[in-house]
A and B are shown apart, each in its own frame.
Chain A
Amino acid sequence: MALNPMHQFEVYSIGPEINLGGINLSFTNASLFMAISAILILSLLFFGTKKKSLIPSKIQLITEMSYTFIAKMINDTAGSSAKAFFPFVFTLFMFVLFCNMVGMLPYSFTVTSQIIVTFMLAAMIFIGVTIIGFVKHGIKYLELFVPKGVPLVLLPLIIIIEIISYLARPVSLSVRLFANMLAGHTMLKVFGGFVISLGLLGGWLPLSFSVALTGLEILIAFLQAYVFAILTCIYLNDALNLHH
Chain B
Amino acid sequence: MKDLKEISTRLKIAKKNIKKVEENNRGTNAASLGKALKISTELVAAVVVGTTIGFLLDSWFDTKPVLIICFFFMGVAAGMLNVFKSAKKMHKKL
**Residues of A near any B CB (own CB < 8 A):** 76, 157, 160-162, 164-165, 167-169, 171-172, 175-176, 179-180, 222-224, 226-227, 230-231, 234
Contacts and interface: CB of A to CB of B under 8 A. Distances in A.
Contacts of B77: 161
A161 B41 contact: no
A175 B79 CA distance: 14
A5 B89 CA distance: 39
Nearest to A234: B89
Contacts of A169: 45
A137 B33 CA distance: 34
B interface majority secondary structure: helix
B45 A226 contact: no
A223 B34 contact: yes
A168 B38 contact: no
A242 to B, nearest CB: 15
Interface residues of B, number: 27
Contact of B37 (A161, A171, A176): A176
A76 B89 CA distance: 13
A175 B30 contact: no
A178 to B, nearest CB: 10
Interface in B55-77: 71, 74-75, 77
B46 A223 contact: no
A24 B74 CA distance: 38
Q: Which 4 residue pairs spanning A and B have beta carbons closest together? A: A172-B45, A165-B78, A168-B46, A164-B78
Given A168-B49, A171-B48, A223-B30, A176 B41 contact: yes
Contacts of B30: 222-223, 226
9 contacts: A164-B74, A168-B78, A171-B49, A172-B46, A175-B45, A176-B38, A176-B40, A222-B30, A226-B30
Nearest to A167: B49
A164 B40 CA distance: 17
Nearest to B73: A161
B87 interface: no
Contacts of B48: 168, 171
A168 B37 contact: no
B14 interface: no
Contacts of B46: 164-165, 168, 172
Nearest to B83: A165
A165 B49 CA distance: 8
A212 B93 CA distance: 33
